[in-house]
């Protein structure tokens, strides 16, 4: 199975700050990487698919990038509504695998 | 509108069984592989099982292999998860999800399973 190593596990940042979360895949997964945001009591919401494509309705301050087997989610100017837990997901092969999650909090 | 609606959760004693269902609508269910994902209280997402569109390929997480069975009925647009020999560590919110890696990935609202005596 493909392992997804996500970092950091938790992150405290100020409003308007730039935030970056990364996921390292254990093997080549191409661009088959999605990012999700989860808020308390809610199902995960898709932010980024195909490593770099913004899902419908997602603010443009979110962006995704890839360098080899390392993937990054960037929030350009943190807003209060961005607080939550973020997960990466590889959709290259079955079984699907998630990163361990990053809990983003306000400083 | 795509909808995935899970049902069948509840409180069950350790060692007992429970069967979850996920009713899909708004897309051609028989064309897509499907997944069960769970989330224990305060924990991250854990993939549990997946099944291909025609049930030809089935995968399980090691934590549930031999105890859980994923299946589907394409005529009823329904995904199932039969859970046996339940343990306290199976306590979680169980999500049904279509995860293609595209912009059209969908999750249900989840159904809670609590394993406790």
How does pLDDT run across A2-29, given as a tens digit for each residue?
999 999 999 999 999 999 999 999 999 9
DSSP notation for chain B:
--EEEEE--EEE-TT--EEEEEEEESS-GGGS-EEEEEE-TT--EEEEEEE-TTS--EEE-TTTTTTEEEEEETTTTEEEEEE-S--GGG-EEEEEEE--SSS--EE---EEEEE--
Residue B8: closest CA among B113, B109, B105: B113
CB A88 within 8 A of CB A99: yes
Segment A34-44 shows an average pLDDT of 96
DSSP A15: T
pLDDT at A70 over 90: yes
Going edge to edge, which strands form the sheet with B78-83? B3-7, B18-25, B78-83, B68-73
Question: What local confidence, expressed as pLDDT, does residue A92 receive?
Answer: 95
Chain A residues inside the 8 Å CB shell of B57: 94
Q: Report the distance separating Cα B88 and Cα B5, nearest Å.
A: 24
Question: What local confidence, expressed as pLDDT, does residue A36 receive?
Answer: 98
pLDDT band at A44 (very low <50, low <70, confident <90, very high): very high
Question: What local confidence, expressed as pLDDT, does residue B101 receive?
Answer: 86
The predicted-structure confidence for B56-103, as pLDDT tens digits, reads as follows 999 999 999 999 999 999 999 999 999 999 999 999 999 999 998 898
Question: What local confidence, expressed as pLDDT, does residue A21 receive?
Answer: 98
Please tell me the distance in Å from B86's CA to the nearest CA on chain A.
Answer: 22
Segment A26-36 shows an average pLDDT of 97
pLDDT band at B113 (very low <50, low <70, confident <90, very high): very high
Segment B94-113 shows an average pLDDT of 95
Query: Considering only residues 14 to 53 of chain A, which have any Cβ-Cβ distance to chain B shorter than 8 Å?
Result: 32-34, 38, 43-44, 46, 49-50, 53
Question: What local confidence, expressed as pLDDT, does residue B96 receive?
Answer: 98
A vs B: CB pairs below 8 A: 56
Which bin fits A95, alpha (ψ -120 to 50), beta or left (φ > 0)?
beta
Question: What local confidence, expressed as pLDDT, does residue A32 receive?
Answer: 97
pLDDT at B21 over 90: yes
pLDDT at A66 over 90: yes
Whether A55 and B95 lie within 8 Å, measured CB to CB: no
Question: What local confidence, expressed as pLDDT, does residue B25 receive?
Answer: 97
Which bin fits B66, alpha (ψ -120 to 50), beta or left (φ > 0)?
left
Question: What local confidence, expressed as pLDDT, does residue A10 receive?
Answer: 97
Name which of B105, B107, B110 is nearest A49 (Cβ-Cβ).
Answer: B105
Torsion, Cα A88 A90 A95 A97, to 10 degrees, reads -20
Partner A contacted by B42 (CB < 8 A): no
Question: What local confidence, expressed as pLDDT, does residue B42 receive?
Answer: 93
Question: What local confidence, expressed as pLDDT, does residue A94 receive?
Answer: 86
Name which of A38, A44, A55 is nearest B103 (Cβ-Cβ).
Answer: A55
Residue B14: closest CA among B100, B89, B64, B95: B89
Partner B contacted by A98 (CB < 8 A): yes
Tokens in use for A55? 């899902």
């Amino acid at each position: 199975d493909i392992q997804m190593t996500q970092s950091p596990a938790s992150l405290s940042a100020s409003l308007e700050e730039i935030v970056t979360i990364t996921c390292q895949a254990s093997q080549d997964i191409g661009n088959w990487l999605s990012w999700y945001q989860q808020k308390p009591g809610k199902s995960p919401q898709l932010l980024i698919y195909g490593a770099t494509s913004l899902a419908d309705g997602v603010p443009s301050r979110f962006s995704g990038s890839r360098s080899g087997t390392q993937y990054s989610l960037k929030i350009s100017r943190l807003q209060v509504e961005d607080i939550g837990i973020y997960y990466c997901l590889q959709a290259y092969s079955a079984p699907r695998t998630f990163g361990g999650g990053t809990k983003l909090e306000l400083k | 509108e795509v909808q995935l609606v899970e049902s069948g959760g509840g409180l069950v004693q350790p060692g007992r069984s429970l069967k979850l269902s996920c009713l899909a609508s708004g897309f051609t269910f028989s064309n897509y592989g499907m997944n069960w994902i769970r989330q224990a209280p305060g924990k991250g997402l854990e993939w549990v099982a997946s099944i291909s569109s025609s049930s030809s390929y089935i995968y399980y997480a090691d934590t549930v292999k031999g105890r859980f069975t994923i299946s589907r009925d394409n005529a009823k647009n329904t995904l199932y998860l039969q859970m046996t020999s339940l343990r306290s560590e199976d306590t979680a919110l169980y999500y049904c999800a279509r995860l293609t890696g595209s912009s059209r990935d969908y999750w249900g609202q989840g159904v809670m399973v609590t394993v406790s005596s």
